[in-house]
Amino acid sequence: EMRKVKDEKRLDGYAKNINTLAATLEAEVNKNIFFATSSKYGSALEAALASQEVPTSVYENLINTTNKNLAPLQRYISLRKKILKVDKVHAYDMGVDLMGTYKFDRSYEDAKKIMIDGLAPLGSAYGDVVKKALNENWIDVYATPQRLDSEYSWSAYDVHPFVLMSYTGDFDDVSSLAYELGTTISTYCASKTQPYDKAKVSGLAGSVAATTNEIMVTKYLIDHAKTNKEKLFLMNGLIGIYQNIFYEQVLGVEFEQEIHKIVEQGDTLTPETLNALWKELESKYYGADYEVDDYASVEWATNLLFYRNFFTCQFPIGMAAANELSQNILDKKPGAVEDYQAFLNSGNSYDPIRTLKNAGVNMNTQQPIDNVIKEFDSLVTDMEKLMKEEGMI
């Protein structure tokens, strides 16, 4: 009940301003449609993907394949329901730590060692840059009153990137450090190997590099867990990464597609329309054991990425590619490390889909989407099995 009250308060301000927020989002959609039409594109989606150099076939494959494979996500929701002993899982139950009293806490020195060891399979050249970033003041580690409390990477050509962290030692911080190092090293490698006009890393390529790191480091932590409780905590953390970056972002992309279709057909984005669409999509994705409360149907209004013209699309595509690349590297597939380094070095010499294909990931096929869903399903299966061994379910 306390979780519900807290969540209601979180969304109360959005609910009170829902008419303004709906009108603002509709204005954003109309802007996207206007510029797409002016540039002779068939739709706002087509224009947005063209700017990201992503073919519409990749987008369509992402949506269609994911919609056919929602069962693993719904199985995870059912597992949460069983562990939490609730009749239905609600939005406010999704952030509950399934391991209860287990506390993950690593000093920054420990985190540095985790980065070096966890990313070692990416090769010695990559490892050397990791060490430079960690030991040569590329990273502002701790939050201070004088600066933004956030995590991100910033770079300029021919200057080493800078990473801003707000490190406290929990799992999210270690995961964020891996993620930001991925972005950082991708821009560093492109800057070192490409001329200025070909050194800019696309949003999709940066997302791939960041997520590859996050997967590699978390799998390293799982493999080196000292107890089953720690292992279960980390497995659930990795499941959360896959859920957040893949499934939830595909849901968001589908929401964006639908609201653009509504306006392109001459209809209006009323609060009722937006709330109903969000509720319908969440119900479809999360399944029968999940209940979307009426107050939570305004969740769409909290997502600022909906004002960035299908920017969300790069995250699930990036996740699928990162899953494929990291698995190739961990499986020691011949040439996988060299192909990945070439991918990082390429900058924007080619469009990101072609660059990924050169690295061994063909996003024009179903395979990367199928494999990221299989990996999620496998993680849920392994966690459920270990929880049964521990007597938790």
CA distance 246 to 69: 12
CA distance 182 to 184: 5
The answer to whether 230 is a known catalytic residue is no
Res. 152: pLDDT tops 90: no
CA distance 24 to 115: 42
Q: Provide the 8-state DSSP code for 156.
A: E
Q: What is the pLDDT of residue 119?
A: 98
Query: What is the three-class DSSP state of 106?
Result: coil
Q: What is the pLDDT of residue 148?
A: 75
Using one digit for the tens of pLDDT, what is the confidence trace for 100-122? 878 999 999 999 999 999 999 99
Q: How many CB atoms lie within 10 A of CB 16?
A: 11
Buried b (16+ CB within 10 A) or exposed e, 170-209: ebebbbbbbbbbbbbbbbbbbbebbeeeebbbbbbbbbbb
Res. 223: pLDDT tops 80: yes
CA distance 182 to 344: 10
* pTM (predicted TM-score): 0.95
Among the options 180, 214, 254, 282, which is catalytic? 180
Are residues 329 and 340 in contact, defined by beta-carbon separation less than 8 angstroms?
yes
Residue type, 14: Y
Using one digit for the tens of pLDDT, what is the confidence trace for 252-293? 999 999 999 999 999 999 999 999 999 999 999 999 999 999
| Span 326-346, average pLDDT | 97
